[in-house]
Amino acid sequence: MNNIITEKKNTLEGINSRITEAEERISELEDRMFEFTAIEQNKEKRMKRNEDSIRELWDNIKCTNIYIIGIPEGEEREKGPERIFEEVIVKNFPNMGKDIATQVWEVQRVPDRINPRRNTPRHTVIKLAKIKDKEQLLKSTREKQQITYKGTPIRLTADFSGEILQARREWHDIFKVMKGKNLQPRLLYSARISFRFNGEIKSFTDKQKLREFSTTKPALQ
């Protein structure tokens, strides 16, 4: 019996020893996983900070830019892009005079080269000296609703970053449905949708808030 008890005791001690070793290995693995997780989290934070910095820098670069859409190709070779912009301002916004037109820093077509497969003319990017001039011009554009160049309708809009463009595209389906329901939808800067409902203008920055509002309005469901 003593020999059996001693044997069992030695067996238990061996099992306990292996359990202890296994626990130590598990603890080491947990420590490594924690370190790896911390490294990944720090990496994600650095990437997020870098993305935010790039986005902020990009938006700062674009903050004074105006997009002109619809100017026929070749017009700038004949008159110069600054002259075209001046004609657009004077023709459509006579109260502004030439003040904004004289504050142009840079004008260019984008992309740089003509794509023969592209059926529409390239956009024209106007870089103004002051952001308040851009805001005033966009406000006047919204109030006038229709802008023309030589009798042809054109569009003036803000130069958006890639993130804002994607956010605006996400409203496309809802915008299309609202337009079909005569709700007079509009996409506002930077990525808000507004529409007229029961005589009031409603504005939303994301789809979830719009869903929450529509659940109480049978006409919108």
pLDDT in tens, 21-55: 878 888 888 888 888 887 887 888 887 777 667 66
Give the whole-angstrom CA distance, residue 163 versus residue 168: 9
Asked if 20 and 51 sit in the same domain, the reply is: yes
Query: For residue 84, is it within any domain?
Result: yes
DSSP 213: H
- For residue 171, the enclosing domain spans 165-214
Query: For residue 139, is it within any domain?
Result: yes
pTM attached to this predicted model: 0.50
Using CB atoms within 10 A of its CB, is residue 86 exposed (0-12), middle (13-18) or buried (19+)? Answer: middle
Query: For residue 219, is it within any domain?
Result: no
Instruction: Decide: helix, strand or coil at residue 33.
Output: helix
Q: Give tens-digit pLDDT for 129-142.
A: 888 888 888 888 88
Give the whole-angstrom CA distance, residue 147 versus residue 88: 8
pLDDT band at 114 (very low <50, low <70, confident <90, very high): confident
Asked if 67 and 148 sit in the same domain, the reply is: yes
Query: For residue 10, is it within any domain?
Result: yes
Asked if 94 and 143 sit in the same domain, the reply is: yes
